[in-house]
Amino acid sequence: MPDDPPAPDDIFSAFFLEVGILAQLSRALFSLRLPPGISVSQFTVLNHLVRVGDGGTPLQLARAFQVPKTSMTHSLTVLERHGLIRLAPNPLDGRSKFTFITAEGRAFLQASRAALAPDIRAMGDLFPASRLAGVLPTLTELRRILDAMRDDPSPDQT
Amino acid sequence: MPDDPPAPDDIFSAFFLEVGILAQLSRALFSLRLPPGISVSQFTVLNHLVRVGDGGTPLQLARAFQVPKTSMTHSLTVLERHGLIRLAPNPLDGRSKFTFITAEGRAFLQASRAALAPDIRAMGDLFPASRLAGVLPTLTELRRILDAMRDDPSPDQT
DNA sequence: ACTATCTAGTGCGAAACCGCACCAAATGCA
DNA sequence: TGCATTTGGTGCGGTTTCGCACTAGATAGT
């Protein structure tokens, strides 16, 4: 290797490339474990509803996952069709809705987590979770920055 | 169970969640800078052809990006329709093809990189690339492991 | 050589994703 | 109050993604 200049562009692109493949790969692995008809996105939303708490609006969910609201509408529609969530009208705002997990939804999430557990454990055997914990803050921080760049429509101009 | 100290499961899920959002976010930002009609995937393939070198087969590309070969077929079709790549038959193997970038492809890639540069620079201002460089090896290593788990159909039969 | 098996690529159909345009409800303003 | 603007959500259409099944070409075993 004759050259090793610290070109920051290359670092960023290498990083995003790695992140992209990682996301893709984990997504593929996970979806293999989920029952057919449920996608990783759907699972993720369900997971979020339990972790953070339900009763929020679809738009809040869309923002939390940084997806267009039409995509979230779709995901929620599928989840509701499967009886895993329930959409209730917002009595305070006629345009809005509330999102609740159903008992089936909780059970389903539980089962899915169980189905995923062996893989997680296998990963943990090959790769210590503590090392991941080490990089997590960095990822989170960068995510916040990207987030901000997104809200802020200013790429560059003085 | 009031106890939740270092649960490795949580670390992994938090990590994958962060990676997923990061991928999503960067993808969204990038696609904003690309000319309409070209998606991030297409750009990524083009980028790969220049970095690693062209002349490979579609299947090799599919494996490099860890996507199903049908997805790669689609991407390549689009790229060819735009005249950014050229698919040539493999004289040694009638089933196979070779993938080459065209001059337009190179020019397009050049222009896209230029369009992306300001954003990268903006990121670099807010977040030192050196910190990314620090986490990169960890990501790469985990990627390799996921890769191996994928090829190996053994999750850990219960 | 001859057949069985395997492999590269594609057609097809279904699902996911998402921009655009729209509606209805809420808010702001005068 | 009346009207313009903003906001939450959805219908629609186009693109991407990907599993399944198939074809044509290559390889292996006998």
Over the stretch B66-99, which tens digit does the pLDDT of each residue have? 999 999 999 999 999 999 999 999 999 999 999 9
Nucleotide nearest to A68 (CA to C1'): C18
Residue with more model confidence, B133 or B1:
B133
C-alpha distances in angstroms, B115 versus A17, A111, B67, B85? 18, 45, 26, 20
The DSSP H or E segment spanning A89 is strand A85-89
Q: Which two three-digit tokens encode residue A125?
A: 């055997």
Mean pLDDT of A104-130: 89
The predicted structure's pLDDT at residue A147: 81
pLDDT for residue B8: 67
- Sign of the torsion angle spanned by Cα atoms A104, A105, A108, A109: negative
Q: Which domains occur in chain B, in start order?
A: 35-117 (1.10.10.10)
CB atoms A127 and B118 under 8 Å: no
Give the model's pLDDT for residue A158: 26
Question: Chain A partners of B134 at a C-beta cutoff of 8 Å?
Answer: 138
- End-to-end CA distance of chain A: give it in Å, rounded: 39
> How many alpha carbons fall within 13 Å on the CB side of residue A81?
9
B14 touching A (Cβ < 8 Å): yes
DSSP per-residue letters across B101-136: E-HHHHHHHHHHHHHHHHHHHHHHHHS-HHHHHHHH
Within 7 Å: CB of A81 and strand D?
A: no
Residues above pLDDT 90, as percent of chain B: 56
Q: Name the nucleotide nearest B65; use CA and C1'.
A: D17
Give the pLDDT band of residue B150 (cuts 50, 70, 90).
low
Residue range B32-64, pLDDT digits in tens: 889 888 999 999 999 999 999 999 999 999 999
The C-alpha atoms of residue B124 and residue B129 are separated, in whole angstroms, by 6
CA-based nearest distance A91→chain B, Å: 32
The nt closest to A61 (CA vs C1′) is D8
**How far is residue B9 from each of residues A45, A124, A140, B142, measured CA to CA in Å?**
18, 8, 18, 15
pLDDT score for A8: 67
A78-CA/C3-C1' distance, Å? 49
**How close does chain B come to A58, measured CA to CA in Å?**
17
Report the gap between the CA of A90 and the closest CA in chain B (Å).
28
pLDDT value of position A151: 61
